[in-house]
Structure 1
Amino acid sequence: MSIQGRKALVTGGSRGIGAAIAKRLAADGATVAITYAGNKAAADATVAAIESAGGTAYAFQAEAADPSSQRSGVAQAAAALGGIDILVHNAGVAEFSVVTEDSDETFDRQFGVNVKGLHVGTRAALPHLAGGARIILIGSISGEKAFPATSVYSATKAAVAALARGWAKDLAPRGILVNTVQPGPIDTDMNPADSEFAQQMIGAIPLGRYGRVEEIAGAVAFFAGPDASYITGTTLNIDGGASA
């Protein structure tokens, strides 16, 4: 229970990696709030799973690309929790297409959620963060490694890591640590390990398999805990060696 009594907000915490992070932080002793864009049933299921394991959790609807909605979700979470000690930005979207097929709409949507939403949400949370708080951003190895048809998504994730590096310096005087976790291929319902695409990808992963959402959650738990007290402004790739 390394973060016993801490208060954590996980954006995009209704399913997949976000839900795994919320459950892990709760298992480690935190009270957890999650936000979700539209899947209330999945958000309620995550809250129920945490509560059935003896934890405390809340869920609030917030659309990351809508600044007023994002600020409202953060405010509701902070009020329910009584402050925020751990902020995990997991909400994100990915739309894959080659540059000849990109559109203004897909560009704006991905940057709106993945970058602007994260920026708005962090600024909204800062008044509720105490000294020594942790901000953990979920990026992607796509932010530093090129894949076909991912240029816009990759650009958003490169921006995520850049924001973290800058914020680490901006917030160091307050003792707030900011780090980025960059998943590689992870088995989720949106990117299942048994898909045809996954079978093509596995050959490029030295460990020969997709990662598990729990493995990303473990990295986040490390950054949220006491053993990461001298780490800020860094990125950690969790990708089975794919970016090595």
Structure 2
Amino acid sequence: MGDNARQEKGSSQTLKAVLGVRDLVFSGAIPAGERLSEISVSEHLGLSRTPVRAALARLEQEGILEAIPSGGYSVRLFSAADVADAIELRGVLEGTAARLAAERGITPARLAALRALIQNLDTVVLPGPDKMDLDAYMVLNAQFHEMVAELSGSRIVQRELERVMQLPFAGPSAFLNAQISVPAFRASLTFGQTQHRAIAHAIEMREGSRAEAVTREHARLARINLDFVLKDPALIERVPGLVLVSN
């Protein structure tokens, strides 16, 4: 096996380990505060200790695990304030991305792609909360937020956004699973789509301040959802990672 093949295999195994450990943590299978044994995790995932070791170090960098002074890692316990701060940070970074996209301008091809994405979201949202295809919305919503980050033209902003979105409750779709059975939540998606259109229009018109302000306000919808979800244990279980949050 050549060096490149070995590197690709190693990267694949590390990614598999990262996803496996993240799933164990986010599902609550490994409680907050519990120490992760490299050996037990390796056995559970059916992987060697080398990719598991790399995965644990990566998840510590993401802030999901904490390094133990005596060695190893434990699952981090988050406060409600931690979650709120993560959402706020996402809003700041996404707002910066939207402002940069507006101020720097985007190509006609990218503008056409942005308009098409907004139209696709409209198609999903306009039938109304009761008839909305939530799975389709989740996919398109994620694509919209990824596009805003890319349109910034800043690899630094993109990298930091990717980092904060690794937290289980910070991403733009974090609370959507909890919204399925709550009419008020589903109705809020219509307002969120209004904000999507306003963000896209501000970028198109090269209105940087407006793009940033609307994007930051859009992120605050998640704060409202967070406050609602934390009051209902049944909803908490539907949001990956919220089992790690202490009330």
Do these two structures clear the TM 0.5 threshold for a shared fold by scoring above it?
no
Q: Which has the higher strand share?
A: 1
Return the index of the structure with the highest Cα Rg: 2
Tell me the TM-score normalised to structure 2 length. 0.30
Greater fraction of residues in helix: 2
- Structure with higher RCO (Cα < 8 A, 6+ apart): 2
TM-score with structure 1 setting the length: 0.30
